[in-house]
Amino acid sequence: MTLNARSQQPPELPVSRPRPVELTGIGRLVVLAGSLLPVAALVSGFWLHGVAERDRALRSSLDLYGNSATAVVTGLSRTGGKSPQYNVAYRYPAGGEDHQGRRAIRQSEWRRLQVGSPLPVRYLPASPARSWIAGYEPRGNFWVGPVAALGLAILAVIAWQKLRREWMLLAEGRAASATVTRTRMVYTQHGWHYKISYEFRTLSDTLVSGRCRARRSPPPVGTTIQIVYDPDNPQRSGRYPFSLVRPVFSSQPRNMAAKS
């Protein structure tokens, strides 16, 4: 496969470095998200800890004072999508009255039930209208809060790292023309996207490989695309234009032309 022999500078990029760089609209959203996520991590961690404490206290009350009853299944349903939820509706006697309940349960248990099947439930005498299917009582998992907080904090770090990477590449990087060598569709937790492999030559004529992503319409193999790479570490490169940052275009030539 024939590669461009030398690096080529996109005409809209200033040759001199460091280049002035500004955020795009998406970049501003990433900055906002990166600023709010640490706060959300802290708030959610404390809130989920409080929920776990309340659930633990409720479980203790159920173990000490709870009553048991045999409910009757009145309905079975499931939601659609890739992760369906399996729900059971039931009716049970408590405090001299019949009460209704509804709960999501495991698929294996849901498949064994049918309308009219008996179902063991538990409730507090002081609040008979509120019940739990046996085995689905509140647990009070204190690990949920730290895990959720850590996950949000990691998202904030990823957002800032991506922004910093694009900013540094565009400000200090050298532009080049790259040739697409492979495209393939992959699936991640963020959905389907294309992974693009490319090759380019540095200013010293060294052949370097790189990869980037595209949501749709990947360039065909053999197509030339514009990339920006780190002169000190050419393995760090990205397809230009970037999504989070863009060069600041000077208006000086236009003003000079107007005066002339």
pLDDT tens, residue by residue, 105-120: 999 999 999 999 999 9
Q: Which of 64, 133, 124, 138 is CA-nearest to residue 94?
A: 124
Least confident of 21-30, 32-41, 192-201, 212-221: 212-221
> Which one has a higher pLDDT value, 220 or 5?
220
pLDDT band at 185 (very low <50, low <70, confident <90, very high): confident
pLDDT at 190: 65
Report whether 37 contacts 153 (CB < 8 A).
yes
DSSP states along 172-233: H-EEEEEEEEEEEEEEETTEEEEEEEEEEE-TT--EEEEEEEESS-PPPTT-EEEEEEETTE
Average pLDDT over residues 24-52: 94
Question: pLDDT at residue 73 above 90?
Answer: yes
Percent of the chain whose predicted confidence (pLDDT) is above 90: 74
Peptide bond before 220: cis, by omega within 30 degrees of 0?
no
Q: What is the pLDDT of residues 126-148, one digit of tens each?
A: 999 999 999 999 988 899 999 99
- Average pLDDT of the chain is 88
Question: pLDDT at residue 4 above 50?
Answer: no
pLDDT band at 39 (very low <50, low <70, confident <90, very high): very high
Q: Which of 177, 158, 160 is CA-nearest to residue 168?
A: 160
Question: pLDDT at residue 251 above 60?
Answer: no
pLDDT at 193: 84
> Which one has a higher pLDDT value, 25 or 250?
25
Average pLDDT over residues 157-182: 93
User: Is the pTM of the predicted complex or chain greater than 0.95?
Assistant: no
pLDDT at 248: 87
Question: pLDDT at residue 8 above 70?
Answer: no
User: Which residue ranges make up each domain of the chain?
Assistant: 1-17+173-248
